[in-house]
Amino acid sequence: MNLSPDIAAQRSIIIEPGPNGIGAEISGFDMAAELSGTEIAEIEEALVAHKVLFFRDQHITRQQHLAFARRFGRLEIHPFAERPSFHTDPTEREVIVVESKPERPVVAENWHSDLTFLEAPSLGSVLRVVQCPESGGDTLWADMGAAYAGLDDATRSFLSGLVAVHDWSPFRRRMIGEGVATEQIEALNEQFPPAEHPVVRTHPVSGEKLVFVNGNFTIRINGMKREESDSLLRKLYALAENPDYQARMCWRPGSVAFWDNRSTQHSVTPDVQGCRRMERVSIVGDRPF
């Protein structure tokens, strides 16, 4: 994707694309500074083009983190932010704290896009490291546009028009394990009913076709027998595991990642050694089409 001429003429940041067509490292950029409209436009265009952006040596505060994310849209409050496992600050509910300790390891090993069980899943997220692990805990992102492009013509044609159902079942299971009352869970079921999204969504900015099912939240494909639906979904889930479609972030102090949730899935390697504390701020998205 090319930058518009007026933006290209004023380029102030350096973009170094990754080897697999996904991911780019951004330098010449201070996230803590007062950012111009041109800089924000450059970042927006780079996000759509590269799908995940990596920033190094950004030693920012939580308030600077929030201010940066707000430049790209309205901030999201996770629907289950008040659950104990999310550790949100009641005064700053837009911030999700993800912490892994040796006595309580927490990783998101399953490949997924965030909050696809909502009618309007997240546009994207800005994730910064607060405390690095001694080793491990890398985050990987998969390019679901490349995954779609890698399918044969017959499969792409077959997937066209299919609709999948997404549900918040992982959070439901967690709540049951925490002993949340059945009445509370039933109330949440009514508040957050299953959402239906196209199996292949269109990116609202680039127009790119993207596989939009994931192993965390997609539970079935409408109009198919259960066995057929499960078989197809397993094959589509596995697309994110192809290393040719992936970018990887090895975290170190001052690292920040900004990813496009519409066009990627992500996963965390289950090898965290020591403590790992991250803070994530997400941007409200729109309904997939």
- Cα–Cα distance measured from residue 115 to residue 123, given in angstroms and rounded to the nearest whole number: 10
Has 114 been annotated as catalytic? Answer: yes
Has 280 been annotated as catalytic? Answer: yes
Has 78 been annotated as catalytic? Answer: no
3-state secondary structure of 186: helix
Phi, psi torsion values for 123, nearest 5 degrees: -70, -50
R_g of the chain, CA atoms, integer Å: 19
Cβ atoms of residues 113 and 51 within 8 Å: no
3-state secondary structure of 259: strand
Cβ atoms of residues 211 and 148 within 8 Å: yes
Has 112 been annotated as catalytic? Answer: yes
Annotated catalytic residue within 50, 220, 266, 276: 266
Annotated catalytic residue within 112, 197, 220, 262: 112
Amino acid at 247: A
Amino acid at 181: A
Annotated catalytic residue within 114, 143, 167, 260: 114
- Cα–Cα distance measured from residue 166 to residue 217, given in angstroms and rounded to the nearest whole number: 5
Known catalytic residues are 112, 114, 266, 280
